[in-house]
Chain A
Amino acid sequence: MLWFLRDYPLAAVLLRAATLAFDSLLIGGIVFCTVVLPQSIASSPIFAKYSPRALRLLRIGAIGLAAAQAMFVVLDTAMLMSTTGLGVSELYTANYFLAGLLLFFTAVIFLLTSRLGLPRKPVWLLFFVPLMVATVWTSHGASRLEHQIPLMMLTGLHQLSVALWIGGMPYLWLLISSRAIDRAVEDNEAVRAVRRYSAMSVASVIVLVAAGVAMAWVYTQSWSAVYGTAYGVVLVAKSIMLAAVLVLGAGNFLLIRGQRFNLSPWLLRIAQFSEAEIGIGFTIILAAASLTAQPPAVDLVQNRLTLPEISARMTPRWPSFSTPSVRALPPVQSMKAAIQTYALSPDDAKAANNKMEQEWSDYNHHWAGIVVLMAGLLAMLGRWDRARWARHWPLAFLGLALFLFLRADPEAWPLGPRGFWASFYNPEDLQHRLYILLIVSFVAFEWSVQTQRLQSSKAALVFPAVCALGGALLLTHNHTLGNVKEELLTEMSHTAIALLAVFAGWTRWLELRGSGRGKLIAAWMWPMCLVCIGLVLLNYREA
């Protein structure tokens, strides 16, 4: 598994994502505990339950941030030392090193001072100064040649508002879920915190959107940059997810405004919606990390996709169900050559396929589309008592697992000359085997839940969690530095699948954890997302 650690660009994006996520969690928590929580809560019974849980979450944020930054500094330093011959003494004054140290030591100092208890006094707010400075210092804005200072300020405002809104939300959720049985006594404090958090969130959203739109304009400056570049595609994905979170947030906001005198009975519903907001919100942070790892669209003037090119690729066409034979594919490399190619240059290992390989891949995607489409339709059908047999829909994915086993690696057993066990030494084959194992595990869980063989409420959350996580990770990887058109067209399909997977996961989560009308709407949405994923896969083409 060391090959993916050696993959610097991927590691850098993931570490950046972890930094932004834990940074938001830490800043959001500090502000929530010092500003949003009423001072009177300290004398309330709820505080005894809430305080250690919130402190634990803050420490998770600090530890995660310190670890992510330590790894990033080590990674960048190791890369530079091995490729430039420079020593640590020549690298420790580099921006990334200094910013990394600032974040690391700020997080460590917070951990040490958190032994004093939950942050309650305004002096704790000083922590977010070095945290914000360090993350803005290593943002796109800081490295731009023009408008550096205004862009850094906009970046700072944008990241701070994300931290206050999305980063603070887990602490709100913890507060609501910390209420004891005698809720009449404790709800007053929770209600006050909810109202204060709601007001802060509204202000944060306004600043976030304003700063985001301003930066989006600077970094794109034309519609062709939005739809024709990888940066633009991820930006659109971020915007769509933001819209979804705003819809959920608007539901909570209107509820809080509407229930001026008796919000207590609705606190649980607010917490349930917050879970999906938190999930999608942190997915947006992941997408933001991938944005920071690529050039702004305004700098990519060549090889932009045009609307006719996008239209030609995305226009629905009847899927191909004819496949080239295995013999028509390129000759199989020896195992040693395959591992070396992957180890030395993983991008070459994934270099442009020839026509036969493209048709082979299209066929695979189309059959995967059939499976996912069928699963989605059966999941919808299974909601009726007369069609309880349709609740076995997860078993459709066993067909997908078998299909992948046979077709994902045509050079390996049973279609190719490489032995079954020998193919595990090839990183690509190993990845596919792990995917198959993942699918089989997910099928076992979700089928057991759907057919009520497994009654645990936590087991039911496996499918939505894995679905949402898979979609989130799919969003982080899709980038082309040189904006090669074919790769970008493929990325559009992948981004659509990633978004649908995120929404499928979190709407299924809402169905399981929610109540009332929201639960009913969510119950229909996630199977529809599966159907849409199936349709995207059926329309998938690599040329």
Chain B
Amino acid sequence: MTRFLGWTAPLALVFLAGAPAAFAHAMLVRSSPSDQAVVRSHQVDIALDYDSRIEASRCTVKLTDAAGKPVPLQMEHSAKPSELNAVAHGLANGKYQIHWQVLASDGHITRGDVPFTVAAQ
């Protein structure tokens, strides 16, 4: 039986190597700004709401401009166990992208992006 198992192990590795990606699961259910939103202010309050509890101190939210350069963000405390909050001050008009990564309390890591545009007058 050991020899038999030894034979199938390398075959199992082949299947392992071939299996495409799976995805982990804390999902973004709501965001402010929303996907592709146009914001009419140079100050943007960011709120990311997930479908499950997250460990906020081990999550990241980053903001980049159209050129991919990082933009400073001020993280804010959130009362909800499933939300991340941040504020970006003094954003010039243009396209931006929020990059988020969360650690759900069940140990899964997920990440995503939310693009938006600032068009203040």
User: Quick one: given A7-B21, A9-B24, are A469 and B109 in contact (CB under 8 Å)?
Assistant: no
Complex CA gap A477/B19 in Å reads 6
Min CB distance B14 to A, Å, is 5
Q: How far is the CA of A474 from the CA of B110 in the complex (A)?
A: 22
One digit per residue, 1 when the CB lies within 8 angstroms of any chain B CB and 0 when it does not, for chain A 427-442 equals 0001100110110011
Q: Are A295 and B51 in contact (CB under 8 A)?
A: yes
- Residues of B3-29 whose CB lies within 8 A of A: 3-4, 7-8, 11-27, 29
How many Å from the CB of A286 to the closest CB on chain B? 11
Tell me if A13 is interfacial: C-beta within 8 Å of chain B. Answer: yes
Q: Is A159 an interface residue (CB 8 A)?
A: no
Give the chain B neighbours of A479 by CB distance below 8 A.
22-23
CB of A143 within 8 A of chain B? Answer: yes
A14 with B81: CB separation less than 8 A = no
Residues in B with CB closer than 8 Å to A469 are 8, 11-12, 15
- A175: interface (CB < 8 Å): no
Rounded to whole angstroms, the CA-CA distance of A299 and B26 in the bound complex is 10
- Once the chains are docked, how many angstroms separate the CA of A23 from the CA of B90? 52
- The answer on a CB contact under 8 Å between A458 and B4 is yes
Cα of A477 to Cα of B20 in the assembled complex, Å: 6
Judging by beta carbons under 8 Å apart, are B107 and A76 in contact? yes
- Cβ–Cβ < 8 Å partners of A80 in chain B: 58, 103, 109
Shortest CB-to-CB span from B36 to chain A, Å, is 15
Which of A67-99 touch B at CB < 8 Å? 72, 76, 79-80, 83-84, 86, 90-91, 94-96, 99
Indicate if the CB atoms of B108 and A293 lie closer than 8 Å.
yes
Interface residue A399 (Cβ < 8 Å from any Cβ of B): no
Task: Determine if A41 is an interface residue (Cβ-Cβ < 8 Å).
Answer: no
Q: In the complex, what distance in Å separates the CA atom of A13 from the CA atom of B27? A: 17
Check if A212 is an interface residue, CB within 8 A of chain B. Answer: no
Closest Cβ–Cβ distance, residue B80 to chain A (whole Å) = 8
* Contact, CB under 8 Å: A86 / B25: no
Residues of B within 8 A of A435 (CB): 14, 18
> Is the Cβ of A293 less than 8 Å from the Cβ of B16?
no
Instruction: Give the residues in chain A near B52, CB-CB below 8 Å.
Output: 140, 143-145, 295
A-side contacts of B23, CB under 8 Å: 9, 293-294, 479-481
A10 touches B103 (CB 8 A): no
| Shortest CB distance B114–A (Å) | 13
Most B C-beta atoms less than 10 A away, residue of A434, A438, A462, A481? A481
Given contacts A476-B22, A480-B23, contact A8 B109 (CB under 8 A): yes
A145 touches B82 (CB 8 A): yes
Chain B residues at the A interface, C-beta cutoff of 8 Å: 1, 3-4, 7-8, 11-27, 29, 51-53, 55, 57-60, 81-82, 101, 103-111
Can you report 21 residue pairs joining A to B where beta carbons are below 8 Å apart? A7-B21, A10-B19, A12-B24, A83-B111, A90-B58, A94-B55, A96-B107, A143-B105, A295-B25, A346-B20, A434-B17, A435-B18, A469-B11, A473-B12, A473-B16, A474-B15, A478-B22, A479-B22, A479-B23, A480-B23, A481-B27
Residues of A within 8 A of B (CB): 1, 4, 7-10, 12-14, 72, 76, 79-80, 83-84, 86, 90-91, 94-96, 99-100, 138-140, 142-145, 290, 292-296, 299-300, 346-347, 350, 430-431, 434-435, 437-438, 441-442, 458, 461-462, 465-466, 469-470, 473-474, 476-481
7 closest A-B pairs by CB: A96-B107, A481-B23, A143-B52, A477-B19, A299-B51, A295-B27, A143-B106
